A and B are shown apart, each in its own frame.
Chain A
Amino acid sequence: MAFKKPYFSLYEIALLSLCAALIVVLNTTFTLPLNIPGHTGIYWVVPVIIGVGIVKKPGAGTYIGLISGILASLFGLNTLHILNLFIYLALGMTIDLSGLLFFYRLDHPAAGFIAGAAGNLAKMVVNYLLQSFLGIPAVFIIIGIGTASITHFIFGGIGGIIAALVLSRLHKAGVITPDES
């Protein structure tokens, strides 16, 4: 009897799940006193980019987003509760697309920056869409949206560069190899 080979191997599933859990852990343990919109993106995007950069398969980021979204909803990390899932999914899917766009060269700082910034901006957009869906008038949401976009871009980008540097070091140290990844 022939078994269909699973899309993600056990090793990949374990790695992606750990990355997803790490997002939730970072969200609960890190409270940077910056009070700037999107500043949490500096550590939100790191596990997703590392996961996508190691596994290098379409859907890796989406899987991380799905698992971390479920965990965040269960732990009640945000006032949006179950709708958190969409925010985390948007972040993961965007980084997935960035991985595809850049041939999974997410260890390159420029690619990491764009992946992180795009992921953090996607998170912001979905958050605003959900707020709008929940009945908050558009005029309230767009107050300061320009500044919020720029800060999401910068912090997500910085997180992306951090992830790219980590990936690069892992490659150089031989912890992950091109074959394995």
Chain B
Amino acid sequence: MEFRTRVGIAFVLIGCFLGGMVVLDTFGETIFPGTAAVITPGTLIDQVFTKAGFLYGPQAWRPGYSPLGIYPGREALDNETWYLMFVDLNATPVSGDPNVKRIGSVRLTYNVTDLDGRAVFAVYGLTTGTIPTRTNRQTGYNNCGYVVTGKGTAGGSMPAATPLPVSGSHQYTVAISNNQLADSDDMMSTSRHFFFNQPGSGEGALHITPNLAKRMGTVTETTDLNGTFYVTATGTDPGNDLLLMVAVDRPQPDDFALRVRTEFVRAG
């Protein structure tokens, strides 16, 4: 067989393979149906946060290799003044217990009281070694996030908040606002460390979705002050601890309260 013929046949074979993969991608969930997701008994955290939990801000960005915007799909805008709170969810999408790997997702239930303006939820997966911190993609293909809008009474100030300085080393240490932590020495610390090693690193490894059928995440905007969403992961290492970032776009009233509950949902 001639060289050209062989080249042509090889291209056809690889084309067939690629076509098969695209078909598998499109119909895969029908071909390989998972059994129903199973919620693991037990709540991982169940805590109420007040406006005193917002320890950072006003600022227009959230941690990333380069400062990331906060509202899903947008870059950081200088004229925005967000206030940030970090909450350790005491879970990861691979397990309720970070030391035991089971593929699944983290179900987060929130109840907000007297929210004024917008609240944005984002997530960070803390890793070890040289693996950069994971987070949901901020902009571009497969970006995701969750936004709740409320019409509460106007707030005056956020006395606990101070802006987080931009880091030239692409590393950040943030204080967490919760007091229910896993019974592990390194988890008892009230600070968590983010590390990013190149532009875009870690982005897109975690996803936020209100529907497990869309595991790659979506941007959700809602006015429902009580709701549920899931944190899912793709890739080999979603991290060994999951942090929730809650950002509000203006000072909140004194009656502001946010209840966060997390559960681990095993994949079928």
Which A residues are closer than 8 A to B by beta carbons? Answer: 31, 33, 35, 78-80, 98, 101-103, 105, 108, 110-111, 114, 117-118, 121, 131, 135-140, 142-150, 153
Contact = CB atoms under 8 A, between A and B. Distances in A.
Contacts of B28: 138-139, 142-143, 145
Given A35-B201, A136-B103, A146 B22 contact: yes
Contacts of A80: 236
Contact of A35 (B21, B34, B203, B234): B203
A145 B3 contact: no
B187 interface: no
A102 B200 contact: no
A148 B29 CA distance: 17
B14 A145 contact: no
Contacts, number: 92
B151 interface: no
Nearest to A140: B103
Contact of B267 (A108, A139, A142): A139
A129 B197 CA distance: 29
Interface of B: 3, 6-7, 10-11, 14, 17-18, 21-26, 28-29, 32-34, 103, 197-201, 203-204, 215-216, 234, 236-237, 267-268
Contact of A111 (B7, B29, B33, B215): B7
B200 A145 contact: no
A142 B7 contact: no
A78 B103 CA distance: 19
Contacts of A35: 200-201, 203-204
Contact of B11 (A98, A114, A137, A144): A114
Contacts of A153: 14, 18
A174 B126 CA distance: 52
Nearest to A80: B236
A137 B28 CA distance: 12
A114 B4 CA distance: 12
B199 A142 contact: no
Contact of A101 (B6, B17, B215, B236): B6
B236 A79 contact: yes
Given A102-B3, A137-B267, A139-B28, A114 B17 contact: no
A137 B34 contact: yes
Nearest to B23: A146
B95 to A, nearest CB: 12
A145 B34 CA distance: 17
A31 B22 contact: no
Contact of A149 (B11, B22, B215): B22
Contacts of A135: 103
B103 A33 contact: no
Given A146-B21, A147-B25, A131 B236 contact: yes
Contacts of B268: 137, 139
A145 to B, nearest CB: 5
B21 A118 contact: no
10 contacts: A103-B3, A118-B14, A121-B14, A135-B103, A138-B32, A139-B28, A139-B33, A142-B28, A144-B216, A149-B17
